[in-house]
Amino acid sequence: MPALAGPVPDPGWPSRRAGRHNWGVGWYEWVAIGGGLGGLTGGVAALVAFVRLRRTQRTLARSAQFRRDSGLTERVAFVVNPSKGGYPDFKLAAYALCHELGLGEPVWLETTVESPGTAQAADAAARPGVRTVVAAGGDGTVRAVAQGLSGVGVPMGIVPLGTANLLARNLKLPLMSSRDALEVALTGRRRQIDVGRLTAWDQDGEIVIDREAFLVISGLGFDAAMVSDAASDLKRRLGWPAYFISGFNHLADKAIRVRLHTVDGVRPVLARSVMFGNCGLLPARLNLVPDADLADGNLDLAMVETRHGLVGWAALAFQVLLHSVGIRFTPAWASGRLVYLQAKSFQVTCESDQLIQIDGELVGRASRLDAWVDHLALCVRVAR
């Protein structure tokens, strides 16, 4: 028998040459690549399904804990500013989560310009079966709902949909996802916080605002002027930086002569701004009132003092930056600084009517302000 010229191919395995394409990959290699890609796709799909399952489990666990903490929660009421973006999607998400948590049909109340949320919150809290009232909107809506719920005992949930979302920042609520904020609003733990109160009179002795609630900061002077000039369309386009742009237009405004009345007597002050703080964290993690505490029963008064034009404002900005990172350094010789006082109540009088703002909302002009705190008057829901 003649000798074979080379090795005999295994008849059970095709020749690499027979299955080779012109780019050098055999069919069985394509099968291996396809199998690997299929396995990778399946792994990613399994991971996504696992994450969704865990999120559902966490939601249900929070719901169970929520029910144990507060008893059977039958219904949730929503007080919503319909002018905010994404309103239809938010409403669908709210109804879906209520159904997922086994809650009853939610009470849905919309705010208007004439009725910003206080009456709706009081109405919702009085309805049978309502255990939580959710404020969905900006700082104005949150403050109005808090005014209606203060002292009532029904907890307030917050879904921040505004420009600055000041109280939500100070409570460390989710700011980037309305779905996450909604979950906290419905299943979060209860926390009692202080509510600031403000009554103001004008030069003629007429009451401008009476026992108006504030949750973050109220005041007169530069801060109120900055709020008054922040255009709505600019806030929609830029967000909270619109307030800083507005502030540049008022850096040259004259200081205000005020008389500060405390338990220690009367103190004359020349200040750019006088603010009453219940908490002080602002956007960009700036802390304007670093000692303010939402549950200490005190108000923190902050007075802005600057001189030498832009040099003073630069020194003030540097002080705020230092305070925001935990460094307390305010030399007496600084050309711009914040001066702080703490008490349960303050009275401030001015020589003329000044613009007043409450939590970023302009409320009028007045020359006398009485501010005090209602200790632990509001119940809110925060992350567990």
Report whether CATH 2.60.200.40 matches the domain 195-375: yes
What global pTM score does this model have?
A: 0.79
Residue 13 — very low, low, confident or very high, per pLDDT cuts 50/70/90? Answer: very low
Cα-to-chain-centroid distance, residue 68: 27
| Amino acid type, 215 | L
Q: Span 145-168, mean pLDDT?
A: 96
| Amino acid type, 267 | R
| Neighbouring C-beta atoms of residue 216, cutoff 10 Å | 28
Question: Which pLDDT belongs to residue 259?
Answer: 97
Hey, is 352 helix, strand or coil?
Answer: strand
CA-wise closest residue to 369 among 218, 263, 226: 218
For the cut 70, the answer to whether the pLDDT of residue 1 exceeds it is no
CATH superfamily of the domain spanning 72-187: Probable inorganic polyphosphate/atp-NAD kinase; domain 1 (3.40.50.10330)
* 271 vs 334, more confident: 271
Helix (H) or strand (E) holding 338: strand 336-343
| 72-187 and 195-375: identical CATH topology | no
β-partners of residue 262 are 265
Rounded Cα–Cα distance for residues 136 and 187 (Å) = 15
β-strands 130-137, 75-80: how paired?
A: parallel
Q: Where are the domains of the chain?
A: 72-187, 195-375
Q: Span 161-187, mean pLDDT?
A: 95
Q: Chain-wide mean pLDDT for the chain?
A: 86
Question: Which pLDDT belongs to residue 62?
Answer: 63
